[in-house]
Amino acid sequence: MKIKSADFVMSNSNVLKCPNEPLPEYAFIGRSNVGKSSLINMLTERKSLAKTSGRPGKTQLINHFKINNNWFLVDLPGYGYARVSKKSKNTFQKYITDYFRKRKQLVNAFVLVDIRHEPQKIDTEFMSWLGLEGIPFSIIFTKADKLKPSEKETKVAAYLDHLLQEAWEEAPVYFITSSSSYEGREELLQYIDSINKA
């Protein structure tokens, strides 16, 4: 898929105020600092469409970007940032869970995990929750340039194995990406394109 346009539409913390358009929507979510903003900028080839922030946890809103005038890329807040207060954590969870439960346009969630890390409870629990809610998701392994090719394979295999042992019957669709080398970009965009055209 060629990205012809990528436009910021709105930010908010209420699913009911998200764009009132029937376009298919793809949500990107993961721990703070996982490389989500960099990935969104890499995918759209826009330098600062998503704000890469030195201060994780700063962008606490649901951000809608309209791509090629035919689908929405949704940048969700990074989770698991220790420095936000408990109260703001609860508010955060409520509007994010609301978004996932109520947003009919949502086609697929992309859960980002750093390829170098062992499976983290916060991510795998979130994937289980998506599964229980019946929300389709795929995994995006980020920062692949930080590992050698052989290490990448081992890490990904171990991650998927962990999920299978945790109760998943089959491994989810996954992508190995790097925002610096553009690895995985075509595959990811093609995947979105294929769903949009189905």
Q: What is the DSSP string of the chain?
A: -----EEEEEEES-GGGS------EEEEEEBTTSSHHHHHHHHHT-TTSS---SSTT---SEEEEEETTTEEEEEPPPB--TTS-HHHHHHHHHHHHHHHHH-TTEEEEEEEEETTSPP-HHHHHHHHHHHHHT--EEEEEE-GGGS-HHHHHHHHHHHHHHHHHHT-SSPPPEEE--TTT-TTHHHHHHHHHHHHH-
- CB closer to ligand GDP, 53 vs 93: 53
Among 27, 28, 35, 192, binds ligand GDP (CB under 6 A): 35
Per CB under 6 A, 33 contacts ligand GDP: yes
- Binding residues for ligand GDP, how many (CB under 6 A)? 18
Among 1, 6, 27, 34, binds ligand GDP (CB under 6 A): 34
Per CB under 6 A, 184 contacts ligand GDP: no
Per CB under 6 A, 36 contacts ligand GDP: yes
> Which residues in 37-76 contact ligand GDP (CB under 6 A)?
37-38, 52-53, 56
> Which residues in 126-165 contact ligand GDP (CB under 6 A)?
142-143, 145-146
Per CB under 6 A, 179 contacts ligand GDP: yes
Per CB under 6 A, 32 contacts ligand GDP: yes
Query: Please, which residues have CB within 8 angstroms of residue 176's CB and are 6 or more apart in sequence?
Result: 115, 141, 144, 152, 156, 183, 184
Shortest separation between residue 51's beta carbon and ligand GDP, angstroms: 8
- CB closer to ligand GDP, 1 vs 35: 35
- Binding site residues, ligand GDP, CB under 6 A: 32-38, 52-53, 56, 78, 142-143, 145-146, 178-180
